Structure 1
Amino acid sequence: MIDLHTHTTVSDGTDSPAELVAAAAAAGVTTLALTDHDTTGGWASAAEAALRHGVDLVRGVEVSCSHHGVSVHLLGYLVDPTHEELAAELSLAREGRHGRLQRMVDLLAADGVPITIEDVRAQLGVDATPGRPHIADALVANGVVRDRDEAFATFLAGGSPYYVPHYAPDPVRAVELVVAAGGVAVMAHPFAGRRGRTVDDDVIAAMAAAGMTGLEVDHRDHDPAERAHGLGLARELGLVVTGSSDYHGTGKLNRLAENTTVPEALEALEAAATSDTRVVRA
């Protein structure tokens, strides 16, 4: 089984990279992609664990993007992590997240929600990319909500008065950077309207024209009609169709290998990569 979208404590997951690989092996995953938000910091640990557990590892990153205020996520597989422009863009995104956390916590606290920035920092792993899930974890720890899903449904959604945006590149620019870094670009959960607003198909077409290779169609946040639309759009634009769990560990319902990618699709993604970063074969 091939699962091409997962997260660890290096960004907003609850498993370390080594724990993620072990969990994937136990779940029957044969090929796993590590795609932490705006960082490649977990690659080395995950690669070591992949060799121990007999799991092939696709090293990737999930680039946080924005198009006229609408959040867009781009999966970049097999990129060169030393590519200067891409690395600089990821660094800007990570730096912007720190100030965002403080502003969101201030807004929550001003309305009487029992939370401090120290509570949130206590949820961050070493060198982790900070994000809203860490605020959610602090709210859970303080007894404000039951789990991450409730936190996002109440306090942290895009339309919430406590939501604060952070720096994020335009998705077409992000595609160009991933391709320039020798990687393969796949748009993550493009039709997940329950998360907030989504971009129109013309934006996806522009991303494809910029060099995007694939579309993540099979995802927990896509209903049958959205999956059918995604399949049609992928055919129209000549995009590879992928599926994945978007696993974050505890606190979210997503489970490893609940959606998967067929081997032929992975082969097409690998063939599109031009960097020296290749799949780690166990």
Structure 2
Amino acid sequence: MKNATLNQLSNADLHCHSKVSDGTLEPEALAARAKANGVSLWALTDHDEVGGQQRAMDAALALGLPYLTGVEVSVSFAGRVVHIVGLGFDHRNEALVAGLRATRGGREQRARDMAAGLAQVGIKGAYEGALKYVGNPELISRTHFARFLVEAGHCGDISEVFRRYLTEGKPGYVEHRWARLGDAMRWILEAGGQAVIAHPARYSFTPTEEYALITEFIGHGGRGVEVVTGSHSDADAAKYTETAIEFNLLASRGSDFHSPEESRTDLGQMKDLSGRLSPIWQLLETRIHWPPASTP
């Protein structure tokens, strides 16, 4: 065991995004921000992409910050997009990399269709405008369109863009076919990692739908659920504390940080997990990359 104990990792932040997907900072800048904010264990979890993992790991370890590999996989379940966070896997695993590449496929056509829908309501040049914010063209997303629409003066902030233009039934919404839950779970687990249901309160599932998600997730080998996250209120955290206990799930914690200007929760600035919960990083002890200074 390294000098840093698992009990000293309570300010873990295991969910955030870089410019490699839909964040605005490079992996190295995120590592520095996490370190400055007192994060004790960090994971970069870009959407459907592990291209920033080595950079994030190298930067974190150089700063003396323990690191877990991470990714946030987009999954279709019960007619909604659900996100599964993978942690502690081999980011060079060929099956994982290929699966994520296939999941990303089709984003360009979806983006062009979104732009066409926006053009029909008088918003021209949205595709080209969104591209200005894209670090990886394979991962062009609604967030990139939202940033363009705010910059162009069509809306005051990103939340307004989503309400008016980018949610189901609105002019710029186009559905994409994401990975199946079982496929995403297999990629993560066979690469040596563990899977976590990300921000479950965001999906607005009925109790029956949520029960189906959790039980199918567990059936595929899932072990964790995000309890404390930038997407959850205190009431949500209390609810999913009980959910984790009920289903014997380990708890995860992450800011879901994307940008200094846009995110309501900064890296490492979340409340602690309840002492009644077992954190996911206890299961991932052997998968943590420790800085050289932590070696006995």
Per the normalisation by structure 1, the TM-score is 0.89
Matched, 1:156 2:166: yes
Q: Please identify, of 93-102 and 7-16, the stretch whose mean Cα deviation from structure 2 is larger.
A: 93-102
- CA–CA distance in structure 2, aligned partners of residues 160 and 126 of structure 1: 25
**Is residue 132 of structure 1 aligned with residue 142 of structure 2?**
yes
Q: Which residue does 2:3 correspond to in 1?
A: none
Using the TM superposition, give the Cα deviation of residue 37 of structure 1 relative to its aligned residue in structure 2, in angstroms: 0.3
Find the partner of 2:211 among 167, 184, 201: 201
Moved more, 66-75 or 165-174: 165-174
Residue matched to 1:258: 269
Task: Give the structure 1 partner of residue 282 of structure 2.
Answer: 268
Q: Structure 1, unaligned stretches of length 5 or more?
A: none
Match of 2:14 in 1: 4
Partners of 1:46 and 1:214 lie apart in 2 by: 23
Q: How much has 1:266 moved relative to structure 2?
A: 4.3
**C-alpha deviation, 1:54, in angstroms:** 1.8
Secondary structure in 2 aligned to 1:191?
helix
Cα RMSD, aligned residues only: 2.2
Q: Measure the CA separation in 1 of the matches of 2:135 and 2:254.
A: 24
CA contact (8 A) 2:108 2:138 kept: no
Query: Which residue pairs with 1:35 in the alignment?
Result: 45
Residue number in structure 1 paired with 2:4: none
Partner of 2:23: 13
Which secondary structure does the structure 2 equivalent of 1:241 belong to?
strand
Distance in 2 separating the partners of 1:261 and 1:185: 20
User: What CA deviation, in whole Å up to 9, does each residue of 1:184-217 have, x standing for no partner?
Assistant: 1001001114xx6574222111101211110001
Going from structure 1 to structure 2, the CA distance change for 1:159 and 1:241 (only over 3 Å counts) comes to farther
- Aligned AA for 2:262? G
The within-5 A match list for 1:231-246 is 231-246=241-256
CA distance in 1, matches of 2:231, 2:106: 26
Partner in structure 2 of residue 210 of structure 1: 220
Corresponding position of 1:59: 69
One-letter identity of the residue aligned with 1:47: M
- Match of 1:280? 289
The aligned amino acid for 1:254 is: T
Structure 1 residues 174 and 126 mapped into 2: Cα distance closer, same or farther (>3 Å)?
closer
**CA positional deviation for 1:147:** 2.6
Residue 150 of structure 1, CA deviation: 2.3
Which one-letter code corresponds to 2:290 in the other structure? R
Separation in 2, partners of 1:173, 1:6? 22
1:225-260 deviation digits (Å, cap 9, x = unpaired)? 432331222112211011210000132323112326
Q: Percent identity?
A: 35
Letter in 2 for 1:206: E
> 1:48 and 1:181, CA in 2 relative to 1: closer, same or farther beyond 3 A?
closer
1:184 to 187, 190, 194: 194
**Residues 138 and 197 from structure 1, CA distance in 2 versus in 1: closer, same or farther, beyond 3 angstroms?**
farther
Q: Distance in 2 between the 1:24 and 1:224 partners?
A: 22
SS state of the match for residue 61, structure 1? strand
